[in-house]
Amino acid sequence: MHPQIPLPFKPQDEYNFNNFIATGNELIVQSLNTIENEFFIFLWGASSTGKTHLLQATCQQQALQGKTVCYLPLIDLHTLSSDILDGMDGIDTICIDDIQLISNKRDWEVSLFNLFNQIKQQGKHLVISSTQSPQQLGIQLNDLKSRLSSGLALNLTPLDDESTVQVLQNRALKLGLELNQDTASYMVNRLPRDLASLWVLLEKLDKACMTEQRKLTIPFLKNTLQL
């Protein structure tokens, strides 16, 4: 018998505030939800703490209110010209992800400094995420560094084990994979902690389950991942 070949189908990630597990980060979610009260919010935290999710959710929510928004993933853009920031001050809410990638890049720092001033002058809103706090970022342009320190800077708390299990189960559900509490807890306890690695492993398990037409159990998991 031929093995079942899974179709290369990936669910589209949907980022909104409802599917963000906010444990420990309630103030952050609340602040982003009411962004009209703040001109500038700076989110920082280790990777896999949900920065991208929150920025995307902010875009989503503002768009629902009929606002123009722009999400700028510096991971894709920082090797390009900083001209992409030109004219952005006409947009109601701008979310810039992974700002640590442009620290110490003079052109980007100056462009962001200019954009910051324009957004403030226009009464628009800015959300920036980073792996480090504004003071630790290593921004060389003091004019920009001090501006980045002026906003509401909030530190993201990493997920606790219980919440990670929940996030993992939600993700599995989206893949159409049944992941019970015990197996999810096993994964959280035995596998790398960061969500990005867990996603990759979860997809690997999903494929294996489909190919072999098996349910995801701890023994199957151990066998598949050769633990």
Site residues for another protein per CB under 8 A: 12-15, 26-27, 30-31, 38, 42, 56, 59-60, 63, 66, 68-73, 80-81, 83-91, 95, 110, 114, 117-118, 121-123, 133-136, 142-143, 145-147, 149-155
CA distances from 60 to 53, 71, 73, 108, 191 (A): 10, 10, 15, 26, 32
The backbone region for 148, taken as left when phi is positive above 0, alpha when psi lies in -120 to 50, beta otherwise, is alpha
Using the minimum distance from each CB to another protein, give the nearer residue, 66 or 219.
Answer: 66
H or E stretch including 55?
helix 51-64
* Closer residue to another protein (CB): 23 or 117: 117
Can you tell me the distance from the alpha carbon of 81 to that of 78, in angstroms, rounded to the nearest whole number?
A: 7
Nearer to another protein, 85 or 165 (CB): 85
Shortest gap between Cβ of 34 and another protein (angstroms)?
A: 10
* Residue 153, beta-bridge partner list: 42
Shortest spacing between CB 69 and another protein, in angstroms: 5
Smallest separation, CB 114 to another protein (Å) = 5
Which is closer to another protein, CB of 29 or CB of 225? 29
Backbone conformation region of residue 196, classed left if phi is above 0, alpha if psi is from -120 to 50, else beta: alpha
